[in-house]
A = this chain, B = another copy of it.
Amino acid sequence: MENVILYGSILVALLAFAFAFWLYLWVKRQPCENRKIIKATGLIRAGARTFLRKEYLVLARFAGVAAVLIFVFLPKPVWQGSPVHNIWMVAAYLCGTLFSAVAGKIGLEVATIANGRSAEAAKQGIKPSFMAGFRGGAVMGMAVVGASLLGVTIVYLLTRDPTTVLGFSFGASSLALFAKAGGGIFTKTADISADLVGKVELGIPEDDPRNPAVIADNVGDNVGDVAGMGADLFDSNVASMAAALVMAGVLGGNNVDMVFTFAALGLLASIIGVMTARIGKHGNPTRALNSSTYVTTAVYVVLTAAATYLLQFPWRIWGACIVGLAVGVIIGLTTDYFTDDSKKPVHFVAHASKSGPAFTILSGISYGLLSVLPAMIGIGVAALAAYKLCAPLATDPAETMQYALFGISMAAVGMLSIVGMIVSNDAYGPIVDNARGLAEMGELGDEVLEITDSLDSAGNTVKAVTKGFAIAAAGLTVIALLGAFMSEVNTAAAELGIAGITDFDVMNPMVFFGLLVGAAIPAVFSAMLMLGVDRNAQRMVAEIHRQFSEIVGLKEGKEGVEPEYDKCIEIATDGAIKELIPAGLMAILATFIVGFIGGVSAIGGFLCGNIVSGLLFALFMSNSGGLWDNGKKYVESGHEGGKGSDAHKAAVVGDTVGDPFKDTAGPSINTQITVVSLVASLMSTLFLTLHIF
Contact = CB atoms under 8 A, between A and B. Distances in A.
A657 interface: yes
Given A361-B361, A372-B524, A507 B503 contact: yes
A369 B653 CA distance: 20
A508 B383 CA distance: 10
A515 interface: yes
A507 B507 contact: no
A365 interface: yes
A356 B523 contact: no
Nearest to A200: B356
Interface stretch (A223-231, A232-240, A527-535): A527-535
Interface string A595-617: 00000000011001100110110
Contacts of A657: 358, 361-362, 365
B513 A372 contact: no
Given A373-B524, A384-B513, A660-B362, A519 B608 contact: no
A276 interface: no
Contact of A653 (B356, B377, B505, B616): B356
Contacts of A361: 361, 653, 657
Given A408-B509, A505-B504, A507-B486, A366 B520 contact: no
Contact of A516 (B357, B376, B516): B376
Contact of A524 (B370, B516, B534, B609): B370
Contacts of A613: 519, 612-613, 616
Residue of A355, A357, A530, A656 with highest tally of chain B CB at under 10 A: A357
Interface in A579-629: 604-605, 608-609, 612-613, 615-616, 620
Contacts of A505: 503-506
A473 to B, nearest CB: 15
A401 interface: yes
Contacts of A293: none
Contacts of A507: 401, 405, 482-483, 486, 503-504
B513 A355 contact: no
Nearest to A598: B384
Interface string A282-300: 0000000000000000000
A567 to B, nearest CB: 19
Contact of A531 (B366, B479, B534, B608): B366
Nearest to A509: B387
Contacts of A342: none
A680 interface: no
Interface size class of A (residues with CB under 8 A): 35 or more
Contact of A370 (B370, B515, B523): B523
A625 to B, nearest CB: 12
B376 A517 contact: yes
Contact of A373 (B372, B482, B520): B520
A530 B377 contact: no
Contacts of A356: 196, 200, 653, 656
Contacts of A74: none
A380 interface: yes
A526 interface: yes
A548 interface: no
A130 interface: no
Interface string A521-558: 00110111011011001100100000000000000000
Contacts of A513: 380-381, 383-384
A675 interface: no
A359 interface: yes
A608 B373 contact: no
A404 interface: yes
A394 to B, nearest CB: 14
A363 B504 CA distance: 36
A90 interface: no
Interface in A489-519: 503-517, 519
A383 B506 contact: no
B515 A608 contact: yes
A380 B516 contact: yes
Contacts of A528: 366, 370
B526 A369 contact: yes
A580 to B, nearest CB: 16
A509 B407 CA distance: 11
Interface string A413-451: 000000000000000000000000000000000000000
A256 interface: no
A404 B504 CA distance: 17
A390 to B, nearest CB: 10
A370 B479 contact: no
A506 B509 contact: no
Contacts of A367: 527
Interface string A33-77: 000000000000000000000000000000000000000000000
A386 B370 CA distance: 36
A482 B508 CA distance: 12
B523 A373 contact: yes
A352 interface: yes
Contact of A355 (B362, B380, B531, B538): B538
A244 interface: no
Nearest to A363: B534
A379 interface: yes
A369 B405 CA distance: 33
Contacts of A386: 509
Residue of A388, A482, A509, A514 with highest tally of chain B CB at under 10 A: A509
Nearest to A379: B516
A362 B530 contact: yes
Interface string A135-146: 000000000000
Contacts of A520: 372-373, 376-377, 616
Nearest to A365: B530
A647 to B, nearest CB: 13
Q: What 9 A-B pairs have minimum CB-CB distances, sorted nearest first?
A: A358-B656, A503-B505, A369-B527, A387-B509, A380-B516, A380-B513, A376-B520, A369-B523, A366-B527
17 contacts: A358-B656, A359-B537, A362-B530, A362-B657, A362-B660, A372-B523, A373-B523, A376-B516, A377-B517, A384-B693, A386-B509, A388-B509, A408-B509, A504-B506, A506-B604, A523-B616, A609-B612
